[in-house]
Amino acid sequence: MSAGSIKDVVAALDAIIQRSRDDRSRLGYFAALYRRVTCAVRDGIANGRFADGPLMERLDVNFANRYLDALAVYQAGGSPTRSWQLAFHGCNDGSRLILQHLLTGMNAHINLDLGVAAAQTCPGSQLPQLKPDFDQINDVLAELTGTVAQEIAAVSPLIGDLEKFGLRDETTVVNFSMTGARNTAWLTAEHLAQQPDALHALSIDGLDLAVSIKGNAILYPLVGAQGLAVIQSAEDTDVRHVIDVLAQGTPGV
């Protein structure tokens, strides 16, 4: 069942996180991080940080439901969008970095889902009213960046060596920019807003293909396999502990 409020979204994420802990599933990595972001947006709405709180809640719920629905389809044995299929299936690969699992989920959710959710929330000529608060979310996310980076370093102590191994450039695993992805998502929303509804499915399918190709490059970069293996060998292999660190914001606990 789709969520109808941010409270529902948080409850659904709590359930995913608990199930992932029970199953020792890496699906819980993205869910744990996403819960933090959702709560930050929820608190921002409650504190009057956004010009139109109710509108932001609708966006947040529409956005989250694309992830929740995709995961439900995948866990039922169905086929979600290519981007999410790749991210979910990749969680079975223990040789990938924790960061790769997180970025592949972020790739699917922001590069594909966010623009679609924005266009759904404010269709057609209504879209411009969403832009100021859409941009404000960048500031909310920026405030989490430092803490999340510390948490990732706590469970992946050699993650700082990405640059040393030549893995921090435009063609490798860390080729992901949160601000760039959100800017692209807004362009997607504008594109959909200008299109007849009958063309949306075709446009979204084409975007999904492009985003899945990017996701594949994040999970399985063409260069740097040896460096990735070195970094991964030092990572925390206790899936439950990694989930707890990402969910609770307690690096090193």
Report pTM: 0.92
Q: What is the pLDDT of residues 117-139, one digit of tens each?
A: 999 999 999 999 999 999 998 88
Question: Is 197 domain-assigned?
Answer: yes
130 Cβ partners below 8 Å, 6+ apart? 55, 59, 118, 121, 122, 189
Q: SS in 3 state form for 225-239?
A: HHHHHHHHHCCCCCH
Could you give the C-alpha distances from 236 to 26, 56, 98, 155, in angstroms and in order? 12, 36, 9, 5
* Residue 106 in domain: yes
Answer whether residue 175 shows pLDDT above 90: no
Q: What is the pLDDT of residue 168?
A: 54
Instruction: Tell which phi-psi region holds residue 124, choosing left (phi > 0), alpha (psi between -120 and 50) or beta.
Output: left
Number of domains in the chain: 1
Is 1 a member of any domain?
no
Q: Around 53, how many Cα atoms within 13 Å sit in the side-chain half-sphere? A: 9
Specify the pLDDT at position 253: 43
The verdict on residue 116 lying in a domain is yes
Token pair in block for residue 111: 């590069």
Residue 253 lies in a domain: no
**Is 223's pLDDT higher than 80?**
no
Please tell me the distance from the alpha carbon of residue 71 to that of residue 241, in angstroms, as a whole number: 22
What is the domain extent for residue 59? 6-248
Query: What amino acid occupies position 73?
Result: V
Nearest to 110 by CA among 220, 188, 13, 36: 188
Residue 37 located in a structural domain: yes
Determine the length of the chain. Answer: 253
Residue 54 falls inside a structural domain: yes
In terms of C-beta density within 10 A (0-12 exposed, 13-18 middle, 19 or more buried), how is residue 206 classed? exposed
Distances in whole angstroms, Cα of residue 156 to Cα of each of 23, 149, 220, 231: 21, 10, 18, 7
In a domain, 41, yes or no: yes
Lowest mean pLDDT among 93-102, 187-196, 221-230: 221-230
Q: Where are the alpha helices (DSSP H) in the chain?
A: 6-23, 27-46, 53-75, 82-90, 98-106, 115-121, 131-155, 178-193, 200-219, 225-233, 239-248
